[in-house]
């Protein structure tokens, strides 16, 4: 299945049905009067988060969504049926944002205007969450409702209220327990293949991973979801290498696992760049519990790995550092042992309730 983490779609709720113009006609009833019923309400546009989806690829091929119109009223005071609501199913972690419009009078020298900031309309964080984004139009009034003491036979009726319409952006932010970060070619794909059943593409070149990957880790009878995002480069928080989109996928992770390539030119500089990008992006990424691991230990001797680790501890301020090999699995069990206690900590600041019990940490599995 192809992965797509953002899409632009058009949505429109249903119009209300028109009211009826009708008069009662029965034998022996000389003055039956009006009996036109009201039209039905138009269908709503409803978004629902469902399990089993982890991509927005379906919205690449279907981009227009319109709810059903309400049916017209009829004689004998019969009301029209309401239009059927349109339920749009999205993955958990999807956000709905407004389509930014250009601001008049802000064109630069090349004629490009500035755009409004996007407004967050809905954020789906759990299965079954539903949001009515656009409400259908009300049905028009039948001529019966226009009857008054002075107008006994009205012929006017309502045509039904229009529905609402708009373009919106869908943005998917994956929900995982642990987020895997690092520079390109740090061995993240090899690591996730080692600890999960994921078959991520592995190559000896930068940006082998071009889309986020999810995998389930089973360790010591515990399961947790691990998210691997493409490698980060300097300026990622500002959009370089579309890094801002990749960083969005780990916003909701409780723990970050930072892999550093021990065979790279400057492991200390690698560590600095990633930490700076996490801080620059914001959203509390630099405040999350983090574990740092020096990867590719199978390619260098133990003494050299220890020297590099000592430099990271001294110059980069890394206290807890693990030496691992994602290819052979060396040091990986100890690393996963360190992850498990952090998953038991509640996300953010939480207080115990009156009985002294704390809320159980949330997990996507």
Query: At residue 207, does pLDDT exceed 60?
Result: no
Q: Indicate the fold that domain 1-172 takes in CATH.
A: Spo0b-associated Gtp-binding Protein; Chain: A, (2.70.210)
Average pLDDT for residues 337-348, to the nearest whole number? Answer: 81
Mean pLDDT (the chain, rounded):
85
- Burial (0-12, 13-18, 19+ Cβ within 10 Å), 327: middle
The residue that leads in pLDDT, 357 or 249, is 249
Residue where the block lists tokens 């206290």: 319
Q: What is the helix (H) or strand (E) element at residue 312, kind and residue range? A: helix 302-315
- Contact 153/33 with Cβ under 8 angstroms? yes
Q: Which long-range contacts (CB under 8 A, 24 or more apart) does 202-207 make?
A: 206/231, 207/231, 207/241
pLDDT at 206: 45
pLDDT at 363: 54
- Model pLDDT for residues 42-60, shown as the tens digit of each residue: 999 999 999 888 889 999 9
Q: Which of 124, 224, 247 is nearest to 177 (CA)?
A: 224
Q: What is the DSSP letter of 257?
A: E
Average pLDDT for residues 92-107, to the nearest whole number? Answer: 90
Average pLDDT for residues 1-7, to the nearest whole number? Answer: 77
Q: Tell me which of 88-92, 197-201, 255-259 is least confident.
A: 197-201
Cα 5 to Cα 67, 94, 131, 225, 242: the distances in Å are: 25, 9, 20, 18, 12
Query: At residue 22, does pLDDT exceed 70?
Result: yes
pLDDT at 114: 87
Percent of the chain clearing pLDDT 90 (strictly above): 41
Q: Which of 67, 96, 105, 80 is nearest to 7 (CA)?
A: 96
In the numeric block, which tokens belong to residue 253? 């992770």
Query: At residue 85, does pLDDT exceed 80?
Result: yes
pLDDT at 347: 57
pLDDT at 346: 65
Q: In what order do the strands lie in the sheet with 130-134?
A: 86-91, 45-50, 130-134
Q: In a 3-state reduction of DSSP, which class is residue 65?
A: strand
In which region does residue 285 sit, left (phi positive, over 0), alpha (psi from -120 to 50) or beta (all else)?
alpha
pLDDT at 43: 97
pLDDT at 348: 53
Query: At residue 237, does pLDDT exceed 90?
Result: no
> Per DSSP, which regions of the chain are E strands?
6-12, 45-50, 64-66, 86-91, 94-98, 120-123, 130-134, 165-172, 178-182, 213-219, 222-228, 255-261, 290-295, 321-323
Q: What is the DSSP letter of 83?
A: P
What residues contact residue 277 under an 8 Å CB cut-off, 6+ apart?
Answer: 232, 234, 235, 236, 237, 243, 247
Q: At what angle do helices 267-281 and 302-315 cross, to 10 degrees?
A: 40
Q: What is the pTM of this model?
A: 0.76
**Separation of alpha carbons 305 and 293, rounded Å:** 11
For the four alpha carbons of 296, 278, 123 and 255, in that order, the dihedral sign comes to positive
- Contact 288/255 with Cβ under 8 angstroms? yes
Q: Are strands 222-228 and 64-66 parallel, antiparallel or unpaired?
A: unpaired
pLDDT at 210: 55
Q: Residue 25 — pLDDT band, cuts 50, 70, 90? A: confident
Query: At residue 96, does pLDDT exceed 90?
Result: yes
**Separation of alpha carbons 41 and 128, rounded Å:** 25
pLDDT at 318: 78
Q: How do the domains of the chain map onto residue ranges?
A: 1-172, 178-343
What residues contact residue 79 under an 8 Å CB cut-off, 6+ apart?
Answer: 37, 38, 39, 40, 73, 139, 142
Look up the CATH number of domain 178-343.
Answer: 3.40.50.300
Highest mean pLDDT among 93-97, 283-287, 297-301 belongs to: 93-97
pLDDT at 74: 96
- Model pLDDT for residues 123-146, shown as the tens digit of each residue: 998 999 999 999 999 999 999 999
pLDDT at 68: 97
- Model pLDDT for residues 100-109, shown as the tens digit of each residue: 988 888 888 8
């Amino acid at each position: 299945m192809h992965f797509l983490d953002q899409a632009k779609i058009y949505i429109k709720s249903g119009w209300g049905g028109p009211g009826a113009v009708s008069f009662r006609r029965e034998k022996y009833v000389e003055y039956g009067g009006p009996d036109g019923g009201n039209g039905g309400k138009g269908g709503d546009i409803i978004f629902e988060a469902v399990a089993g989806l982890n991509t927005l690829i379906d919205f690449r091929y279907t981009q227009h969504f319109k709810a059903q119109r309400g049916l017209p009223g009829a004689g004998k005071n019969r009301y029209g049926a309401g239009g059927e609501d349109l339920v749009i199913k999205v993955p958990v972690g999807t956000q709905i944002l407004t389509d930014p419009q250009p601001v008049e009078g802000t064109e630069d020298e090349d004629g490009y205007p500035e755009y409004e900031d996007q407004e967050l309309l809905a954020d789906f964080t759990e299965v079954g969450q539903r949001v009515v984004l656009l409400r259908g139009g009300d049905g028009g009034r039948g001529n019966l409702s226009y009857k008054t003491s002075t107008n006994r036979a009205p012929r006017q009726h309502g045509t039904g209220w229009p529905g609402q319409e708009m373009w919106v952006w869908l943005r998917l932010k994956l929900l995982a327990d642990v987020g895997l970060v690092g520079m390109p070619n740090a061995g993240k794909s090899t690591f996730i293949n080692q600890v999960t059943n994921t078959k991520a593409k592995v190559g000896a070149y930068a940006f082998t991973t071009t889309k986020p990957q999810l995998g389930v880790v089973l360790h010591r009878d515990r399961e947790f979801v691990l998210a691997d995002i493409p490698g980060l480069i300097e300026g990622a928080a500002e959009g370089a290498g579309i890094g801002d989109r990749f960083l969005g996928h780990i916003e909701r992770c409780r723990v970050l696992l930072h892999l550093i390539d021990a065979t790279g030119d400057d492991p200390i500089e690698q560590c600095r760049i990633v930490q700076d990008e996490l801080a620059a992006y914001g959203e509390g990424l630099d405040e999350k519990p983090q574990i740092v691991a020096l990867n590719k230990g199978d390619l260098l001797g133990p003494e050299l790995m220890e020297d590099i680790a000592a430099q990271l501890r001294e110059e980069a301020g890394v206290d807890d550092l693990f030496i691992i090999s994602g290819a052979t699995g060396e040091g990986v069990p100890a690393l996963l042992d360190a992850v498990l206690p952090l998953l038991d900590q509640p996300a953010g600041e939480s207080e115990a309730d009156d009985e002294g019990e704390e809320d159980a940490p949330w997990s996507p599995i």
